């Protein structure tokens, strides 16, 4: 009697079992240690530990303090933003971000954030997925800091022109939702026969 070959569903079940078997306290082998703000040739890195300090204490230090002062942002409000938790069901979110629609949305996000030296979607989209899933498994839920701690690349780049482009197009939360959902849906409609 020959052994039964692995089917796609059995392989996914094994991988999912391994992923969910990890303790939520475990950190990924390669978590983000820096966030690099990139605009053309300009690049300035902010250590994640400085963002974590701001989130925990409401106090901005070093480069984070300079950037907040320069942009006229209140450290307390930034701390609240960094600590804002998204309560999403883990399994449903995992399924959603692995659909064609989820993939299209993640590709749009990957134009803004990606591993510093490999912005290609083949690398950046799985990195975003990993950050989201790992963040959801943390005890605080998905926050900016838990996302960074689960992001599987030591330096996460933020493409400033792409970020500002999205901000300009999104005059409201409704506009932001429309930007990330309508356009990918249009692309899916065109791709179908």
Residue ranges per structural domain of the chain:
29-191
Q: What is the pTM of this model?
A: 0.70
Element (DSSP H or E) covering residue 4: none
> How are strands ordered across the β-sheet holding 34-39?
42-47, 34-39, 155-159, 113-115
Report pLDDT for 173: 54
List Cα–Cα distances, 185 to 121, 175, 177, in angstroms.
Answer: 18, 15, 12
pLDDT tens profile 122-166: 999 999 999 999 999 988 889 999 999 999 999 999 998 888 887
Token duo for residue 118: 């490999």
């Amino acid at each position: 009697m020959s052994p039964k070959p692995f089917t796609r569903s059995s392989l996914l079940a094994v991988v999912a079992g391994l992923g969910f078997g990890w303790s939520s306290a475990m950190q990924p082998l390669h978590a983000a240690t820096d966030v690099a703000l990139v605009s053309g040739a300009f690049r300035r890195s902010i250590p994640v530990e400085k963002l974590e300090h701001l989130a925990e204490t409401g106090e901005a230090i070093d480069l984070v303090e300079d950037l907040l002062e320069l942009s006229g942002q209140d450290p307390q409000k930034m701390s609240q933003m960094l600590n804002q938790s998204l309560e999403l069901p883990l399994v449903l979110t995992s399924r959603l971000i692995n659909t064609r629609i989820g993939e299209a949305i993640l590709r749009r996000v990957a134009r803004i954030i990606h591993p510093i030296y490999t912005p290609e979607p083949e690398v950046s989209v799985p990195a975003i997925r990993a950050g989201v899933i790992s963040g959801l498994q943390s005890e605080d839920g998905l926050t900016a800091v838990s996302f960074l701690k689960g992001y599987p690349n030591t330096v996460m780049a933020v493409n400033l022109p792409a970020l500002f482009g999205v901000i300009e197009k999104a005059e409201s939360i409704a506009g932001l939702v429309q930007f990330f959902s309508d356009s990918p849906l249009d692309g899916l409609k065109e791709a179908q026969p």
